[in-house]
């Protein structure tokens, strides 16, 4: 039954369009498991040969870039604080942090935020609201989306390669590994941001004393 279920899933013509839509939606709804889906398909690709990683990567990357662009356009047309969810909670705090630096650190923010859901929304909205030139933003977003897709497929692929005879187990193991790595990245970004904020406060205090 498992083999038939996997064959039906990986052979479905709707699989890659569904993946694209899921990744696009994750640009706005962080509860959507886009990373989980990409990792799982990477594991299946390595363990069963289907779907091909050569298809999963560009589809996931295109979905990531499309979702980020839509978020950027919302920021550009509407602004980063029109709706309540943009002003409160983790998204609101993240937007406040990146608005002042999005022009100076566009590449760093776009690449690092791709792996942190709330930060990703904040950076794309702030980039649009701050009028970061589209000719500068688009290549960075596309490159970040491609790197993100390769990273997640590779995680699943490593586990899937080791468990070729047990594709479901490969998926079950690769997903928590990806989630754990994502939490580490999220924590690392938070620590760096806190240190930058602390250093800025100290510098401002020193300037006032002088």
48-94 residue pLDDT tens: 888 999 999 999 999 999 999 998 998 888 765 655 555 556 555 65
Is 42 or 11 the better-scoring residue by pLDDT?
A: 42
pLDDT computed for residue 57 by the predictor: 96
Is 140 or 31 the better-scoring residue by pLDDT?
A: 140
**Cα–chain-centroid distance for residue 140?**
13
Confidence of residue 128 (pLDDT cuts 50, 70, 90): confident
**pTM of the predicted structure, to 2 decimals:** 0.77
Alpha carbon distance 145, 149 (integer Å): 6
Cis omega before residue 138 (within 30°)?
A: no
> Which 8-state DSSP code applies to residue 116?
S
């Amino acid at each position: 039954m498992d083999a038939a279920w996997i064959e039906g899933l990986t052979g479905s013509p709707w699989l890659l369009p569904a993946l694209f839509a899921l990744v696009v939606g994750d640009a706005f709804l962080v509860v959507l498991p886009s990373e989980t889906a990409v990792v799982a398909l990477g594991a299946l690709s390595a363990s069963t040969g289907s779907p091909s990683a050569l298809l999963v990567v560009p589809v996931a990357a295109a979905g990531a870039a499309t979702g980020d662009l839509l978020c950027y356009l919302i920021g550009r047309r509407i602004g980063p604080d029109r709706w309540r969810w943009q002003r409160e909670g983790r998204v609101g705090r993240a937007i406040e942090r990146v608005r002042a630096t999005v022009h100076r650190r566009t590449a760093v923010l776009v690449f690092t935020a791709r792996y942190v859901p709330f930060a990703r929304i904040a950076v794309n909205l702030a980039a649009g609201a701050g009028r970061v030139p589209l000719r500068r933003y688009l290549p960075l977003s596309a490159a970040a989306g491609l790197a993100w897709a390769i990273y997640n497929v590779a995680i699943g692929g490593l586990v899937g390669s080791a468990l070729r005879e047990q594709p479901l187990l490969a998926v079950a193991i690769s997903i928590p590994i990806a989630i754990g790595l994502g939490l580490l990245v999220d924590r690392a970004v938070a620590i760096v941001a806190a240190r930058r904020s602390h250093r800025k406060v100290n510098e401002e205090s020193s300037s006032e004393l002088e």
